[in-house]
């Protein structure tokens, strides 16, 4: 069977649409499997969800199998694409496990008995995993199904990996990537686990902040002291640690670590203009956190502060007496957890070294500072001129009638960093979730409009990618 | 029987000395009663120790009884003193309860089976409570016994109160003082629960620092936030609290709270000279805390910093993630316990107001600060010219052949503050403990030399006080 990458998209899109009712049934079947990866009681269900997805991929013409790990299995499926055509090799990533359903009493319908209900934006499916990430996985599985039906397979070589531990720490993911690196070799990855700007505005997340996370323990006296006996005569480790933390910022909110901003480039004018048009509402964003007035680096709004500017936050602190009432103690040590969110082109090791040097320079004479690191993830920024990004933009524009916006996200997505680091492949984060989808919360939902357009978008993006020479 | 306050001291001192062997036996009897006040299992023993002490006072001619409280009983004993003589009314304070003996395995002999052992400074008694405070209580009980034997009673009206809850929070002490205030009315109090400068140098503690202890809780966002999503866009409560704490001091160690030192007077020249002669060893003092280099208010040594200068110490801090590893959270709140040690003539309310205003002025816009206070104790300083102090100095000089030094202590002794506040009576802290007595630790001991001279000193001080007109 010969496969043409040109001229077939219209029939693929029509097929995707025609498949919708059955696609919704398939999604609901998928959602009925309680694949809660954190709870060992659901281990068999997790595997069953993996098998279910693997079978779907087989129906789409893929060679698919479960790869066992030390934790839950990975789904690994491959399709060679059309014979004789040189097209970019595409890697899809998603996960088939879900968050626990607790608190169960807040659900309006049982979390693993999906229902279709009418909402202000049309029909939606309500269930645990509806959008995170089973619904999003189904967007590209439905696109692959339509391509299979219309063209005998996708218009380019495709690998699909579906993780079963995304919600429980992804411990097996890195070893899996290392072991199967050769088999997974690809030109571009598409990750469907993020959101749109709003229901009508598609988005590609092109900036992800990186992270350096440390624990700093300041050790002073050999044991806890009576604050009457010793108070005033020596550096109090808690006060000293507070001074060290305070010194990390200038009064106006800028980070005061020497050279911290050296690698940070200003936002490209093109992106800045796009973002300004988004009408990001600082007050609404902060209001969701119960905060009336933002605070941060001067000259940036909350969107820029969280998408394209680095941070230095204390995530935890402890020292001395923690109980009720009073204890007149001078603690022998105090500990802080401190993390820096990094943006392109900051290097995590360099950021760690600068943070570490800053803190060490402020340790009281004779005291010691113990530093531990809990992970260093580099920041990610997809280059504007990336042909894959341009292809994905064109695919989304075809479905939505408008260009997607390139947005950032303040958090890290470890999978994206690992795909970059281990496979050397850049990820396009094309997701169809909405802000109000209640991810990780009771009554998680996915708009059927998003489901439909997501499937159409993946079908279109594949056509655009197939038009590229790798 | 007529009692003369003059000319009898020599016989009283001789009698005190002659009583020593029996006095040591009495002390050892007292120490055999495991009057651990914190542990309900020992409640009967605590009462037994109170009864034992009350009986001793009866043997000294006192009307003595146990006064029940909500906790352990108080011993309350009174002697009218010599008839027809107007002399200052003296109130003795001590406590008959002891600390728990744990860790029991570190004792070289059972804690409630007192033994006399030879040490580098002569014989000593080893047992829980040896010096804190049974041994010290016995110093004035032996003095009262000798006065009773030689003169039919003390040379002035004497009230004795012995507490049974000093090691467990003294909860009943304040209500007791309030209820029995009329009966306890006195001109001067003598508290025997402190130390000497060294075994040959008697000391009167004339300065005690006061205390203001607060808990400050900074509340920001309505709930914990994801540091990726919100980091950089709002004030992080932990970082903000750290800045507030850091702002309490200048870089050089001086307290930066506005007006904090306004009421603090310089150390009187006379006391400063006495202290300079003491050869206080900063390195040794700090070395016991495992600290190589002191830090504090410039221009003062460690002794001055802890005896006569105020402090502002953070005694506890907590916020955000406290567990192992990393959690990328921005905490909604952070809490610090902060205390200020106060010196004469600082007012606790004024210090609290200044601390509070300082912190409140630094709360990020829109955030709130909740302040709780856990006690405010005023500082205590016995005036150099107090006739009672001069009398006590003369009494000690008679026994030791040298004037005592007037020292300070960095901590508070709540009983002293309460005697001042509720009864309006000033306390002379005349104690006979040594730095190496292992108070609250295994193998607590009391030098028999200190026991003997302590009893002689109290006998002599009573004679000196009796010579005063109230």
Distance CA A291, CA B366 (A): 7
* Residue B368 backbone phi and psi in degrees, to 5: -125, 155
- Residue whose entry in the numeric block shows the structure tokens 């440390």: A214
Nearest Cα residue in chain B from A227: B411
Check residue B1 and give its pLDDT.
Answer: 26
User: Has residue A175 been placed in a domain?
Assistant: yes
Confidence grade of residue B470 (pLDDT, cut at 50, 70, 90) = low
Confidence grade of residue B169 (pLDDT, cut at 50, 70, 90) = confident
Q: Which of B224, B240, B300, B313 should we substitute to test contact with A (largest number of A Cβ atoms within 10 Å)?
A: B313
What ranges make up the beta strands (E) of B146-187? Answer: 158-163
Q: Do both A397 and A319 map to the same domain?
A: no
Longest dimension (CA), chain B: 88
Q: Which chain A residues contact residue B249 at CB under 8 A?
A: 239, 243
Check residue B4 and give its pLDDT.
Answer: 47
Confidence grade of residue B6 (pLDDT, cut at 50, 70, 90) = low
Q: State which of B305, B336, B354 marks the end of a domain.
A: B305
Check residue A375 and give its pLDDT.
Answer: 80
Cβ contact (<8 Å) for B229 and A305? Answer: no
A411 vs B229, B319, B375: nearest CB: B229
Nearest Cα residue in chain B from A327: B315
Is residue B129's pLDDT more than 70?
Answer: yes
Q: How many CB pairs under 8 A join A and B?
A: 277
What CATH number does residue B441 fall under? 3.40.630.10
In sequence order, the 6+-apart residues with CB closer than 8 A to the CB of A411 are A208, A209, B226, B228, B229, B328
User: Has residue B83 been placed in a domain?
Assistant: yes
A317 vs B238, B247, B374: nearest CB: B238
User: Has residue A418 been placed in a domain?
Assistant: yes
A227 vs B221, B245, B339: nearest CB: B339
- Mean pLDDT over residues B325-350, rounded? 94
The count of C-alpha atoms lying within 13 angstroms of the C-alpha of A196, restricted to the half-sphere facing its C-beta, is: 26
Q: Does the beta carbon of B245 lie under 8 angstroms from any beta carbon of chain A?
A: yes
Cβ contact (<8 Å) for B228 and A341? Answer: yes
Q: Do both B146 and B218 map to the same domain?
A: no
User: Has residue A341 been placed in a domain?
Assistant: yes
pTM, entire model:
0.88
Q: What is the pLDDT of residues A425-449, one digit of tens each?
A: 999 999 999 989 999 889 999 999 9
Q: Which chain A residues contact residue B337 at CB under 8 A?
A: 320-321, 326-327
User: Has residue B35 been placed in a domain?
Assistant: yes
Q: Do both A384 and A372 map to the same domain?
A: no
* Residue B429 backbone phi and psi in degrees, to 5: -95, 100
Q: Which chain A residues contact residue B211 at CB under 8 A?
A: 228, 328
A295 vs B235, B320, B331: nearest CB: B235
Q: Which chain A residues contact residue B248 at CB under 8 A?
A: 239
C-alpha closest to that of A381 among A405, A404, A407: A407
In sequence order, the 6+-apart residues with CB closer than 8 A to the CB of B353 are none
Distance CA B436, CA B284 (A): 13
A233 vs B294, B320, B337: nearest CB: B294
Confidence grade of residue B325 (pLDDT, cut at 50, 70, 90) = confident
Q: Which chain B residues contact residue A317 at CB under 8 A?
A: 238, 242, 317-320, 334
Q: State which of B324, B340, B375 marks the end of a domain.
A: B375
Q: Do both A154 and A181 map to the same domain?
A: yes
Q: Which chain A residues contact residue B314 at CB under 8 A?
A: 236, 238-239, 242, 319-320
From chain B residues 75-94, the ones with a CB under 8 A of any chain A CB are none
Q: Do both B342 and B294 map to the same domain?
A: no
Is residue B150's pLDDT more than 60?
Answer: yes
Distance CA A457, CA A450 (A): 10
**Is the preceding omega at residue B345 within 30 degrees of 0, hence cis?**
yes
Cβ contact (<8 Å) for B337 and A320? Answer: yes
What CATH number does residue A338 fall under? 3.30.70.360
Domain with B100, as residue range(s), is 9-208+379-466
- Lowest-confidence region among A135-139, B248-252, B325-329: B325-329
Q: Which of B236, B242, B251, B283 should we substitute to test contact with A (largest number of A Cβ atoms within 10 Å)?
A: B242
Q: Which of A223, A232, A440 should we substitute to test contact with B (largest number of B Cβ atoms within 10 Å)?
A: A232
Check residue A470 and give its pLDDT.
Answer: 56
Cβ contact (<8 Å) for A365 and B235? Answer: no
B121: exposed, middle or buried (C-beta count within 10 Å: 0-12, 13-18, 19+)?
Answer: middle
- Mean pLDDT over residues B45-62, rounded? 98
User: Has residue A277 been placed in a domain?
Assistant: no
User: Has residue B3 been placed in a domain?
Assistant: no
Q: Do both A328 and A436 map to the same domain?
A: no
Q: Do both B321 and B235 map to the same domain?
A: yes
- Lowest-confidence region among A40-44, A316-320, A362-366, B98-102: B98-102
Cβ contact (<8 Å) for B328 and A286? Answer: no
Q: Do both B101 and B190 map to the same domain?
A: yes
Q: Do both A112 and A13 map to the same domain?
A: yes
Q: Which chain A residues contact residue B238 at CB under 8 A?
A: 245, 313-317, 336
Cβ contact (<8 Å) for B227 and A375? Answer: no
Question: In total, how many domains does chain B have?
Answer: 3
Q: What is the pLDDT of residues A232-267, one digit of tens each?
A: 999 999 999 999 999 999 999 999 999 999 999 999
Cβ contact (<8 Å) for A289 and B339? Answer: no
B289 vs A222, A232, A247: nearest CB: A222
Q: Do both B342 and B439 map to the same domain?
A: no
B318 vs A243, A317, A366: nearest CB: A317
Check residue B2 and give its pLDDT.
Answer: 32
């Amino acid at each position: 069977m010969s496969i043409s990458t040109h001229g077939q998209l219209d029939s693929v899109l029509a097929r995707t649409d025609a498949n919708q009712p059955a696609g919704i049934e398939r999604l609901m079947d998928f959602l009925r499997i309680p694949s809660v990866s954190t709870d060992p009681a659901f281990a068999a269900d997790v595997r069953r969800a993996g098998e279910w997805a693997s079978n779907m991929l087989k129906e789409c013409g893929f060679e698919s199998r479960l790869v066992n790990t030390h934790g839950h299995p990975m789904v690994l499926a491959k399709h060679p694409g059309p014979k004789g055509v040189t097209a970019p090799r595409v890697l899809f990533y998603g996960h088939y496990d879900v968050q626990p359903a607790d608190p169960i009493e807040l659900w309006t319908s049982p979390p693993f008995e999906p229902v279709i209900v009418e909402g202000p934006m049309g029909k939606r499916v309500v269930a645990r995993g509806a959008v995170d990430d089973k619904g999003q996985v189904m967007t590209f599985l439905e696109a692959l199904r339509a391509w299979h039906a219309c063209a005998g397979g996708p218009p380019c070589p495709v690998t699909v990996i579906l993780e079963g531990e995304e919600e429980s720490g992804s411990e097996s993911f890195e070893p899996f990537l290392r072991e199967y690196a050769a088999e997974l070799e690809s030109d571009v990855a598409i990750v469907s686990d993020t959101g749109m700007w709003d229901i009508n505005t598609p988005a590609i997340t092109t900036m992800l902040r990186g992270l350096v996370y440390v624990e700093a323990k300041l050790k002073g006296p050999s044991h806890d002291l009576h604050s009457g006996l010793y108070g005033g005569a020596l550096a109090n480790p808690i006060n000293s640690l507070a001074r060290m933390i305070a010194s990390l910022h200038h009064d106006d909110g800028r980070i005061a670590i020497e050279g911290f901003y050296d690698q940070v480039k200003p936002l490209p004018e093109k992106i800045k203009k796009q973002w300004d048009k988004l009408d990001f509402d600082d007050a609404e964003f902060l209001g969701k956190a119960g905060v009336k007035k933002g605070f941060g680096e001067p000259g940036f709004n909350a969107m820029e502060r969280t998408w394209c500017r680095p941070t230095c936050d204390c995530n935890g602190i402890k020292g001395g007496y923690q109980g009720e009432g009073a204890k007149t103690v001078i603690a022998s040590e105090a500990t802080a957890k401190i993390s820096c969110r990094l943006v392109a082109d900051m290097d995590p090791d360099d950021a760690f070294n600068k943070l570490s040097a800053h803190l060490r320079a402020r340790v009281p004479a004779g005291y010691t500072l113990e530093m531990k690191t809990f992970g260093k993830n580099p920041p990610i920024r997809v280059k504007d001129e990336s042909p894959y990004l341009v292809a994905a933009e064109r695919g989304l524009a075809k479905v939505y009638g408008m260009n997607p916006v390139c947005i950032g996200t303040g958090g890290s997505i470890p999978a994206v960093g690992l795909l970059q680091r281990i496979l050397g492949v850049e990820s396009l984060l094309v997701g169809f979730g909405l802000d109000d989808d209640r991810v990780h919360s009771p009554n998680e939902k996915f708009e059927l409009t998003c489901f439909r357009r997501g499937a159409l978008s993946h079908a279109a993006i594949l056509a655009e990618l197939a038009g590229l020479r790798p």
